[in-house]
């Protein structure tokens, strides 16, 4: 029996494809989760077996890997996937802004993670700037993302249901 890998399995014809931007956000989120889990286990073992409490910068690196790197990247990716598409001809929505926000967030979050992790073992003004620029990059990436997504946050039928008295 030959299987054509280019054909959708039965019952899958109606499924929405997961677009490149969505996959990029979700897979990056999973990579940050892996980093956060490895660092979390490392901190746990050192604390519980050897009584060595983690450095505050290490805790911050762990928190940024899990909360920004994993949680926020998954939320942002799923939002791109699920929010209604902008109407054709709507000049306000620009997918390239989503792509720019992804790269800014990915580089900034990784920079902040690595900067704070390295800061536990070494000092230097370059590390301070790496952490600060990583944080500013994260804020910038989020602002660009929400600026890009704003036109997609609109009613799609809900205003009709609300006019009939339905409440959510």
| Residue 54 belongs to some domain of the structure | yes
Q: Is residue 147 part of a domain?
A: yes
CATH of the domain at 51: 1.20.120
State how many domains the chain has. Answer: 1
Q: Quote the domain boundaries for residue 144.
A: 20-83+93-152
The tokens describing 29, both together, are: 């989120």
In tens, the pLDDT along 97-128 reads: 999 999 999 999 999 999 999 999 999 999 99
Please state the pTM of the whole predicted model. 0.82
Query: Can you tell me the distance from the alpha carbon of 91 to that of 119, in angstroms, rounded to the nearest whole number?
Result: 44
What is the Cα–Cα distance from 38 to 35, expressed in whole angstroms? 5
Q: Is residue 37 part of a domain?
A: yes
**Is 118 inside a domain boundary?**
yes
Q: Residue 10 has what pLDDT?
A: 54
| Rounded Cα gap, residues 84 and 154, in angstroms | 8
- Say whether pLDDT at 67 is over 60: yes
Within a domain: residue 32? yes
Task: Assess if residue 6 is contained within a domain.
Answer: no
Residue 3 lies in a domain: no
Q: Is the pLDDT of residue 26 over 60?
A: yes
Q: Is residue 36 part of a domain?
A: yes
């Amino acid at each position: 029996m030959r299987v054509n890998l280019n054909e959708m399995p039965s019952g899958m014809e109606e499924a929405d494809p997961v677009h490149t931007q969505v996959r990029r956000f979700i897979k990056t989120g999973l990579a940050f989760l892996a980093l956060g889990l490895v660092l979390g286990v490392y901190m746990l073992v050192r604390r519980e077996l050897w009584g060595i409490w983690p450095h505050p910068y290490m805790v911050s690196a762990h928190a940024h890997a899990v909360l920004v790197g994993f949680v926020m990247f998954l939320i942002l990716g799923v939002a791109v996937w699920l929010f209604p598409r902008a109407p054709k001809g709507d000049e306000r929505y620009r997918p390239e802004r989503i792509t720019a926000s992804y790269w800014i967030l990915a580089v900034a979050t990784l920079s902040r993670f690595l900067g704070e992790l390295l800061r536990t073992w070494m000092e230097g003004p370059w590390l301070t700037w790496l952490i600060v620029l990583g944080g500013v990059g994260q804020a910038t990436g989020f602002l660009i993302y929400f600026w890009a997504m704003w036109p997609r946050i609109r009613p799609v039928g809900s205003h009709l249901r609300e006019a009939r008295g339905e409440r959510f």
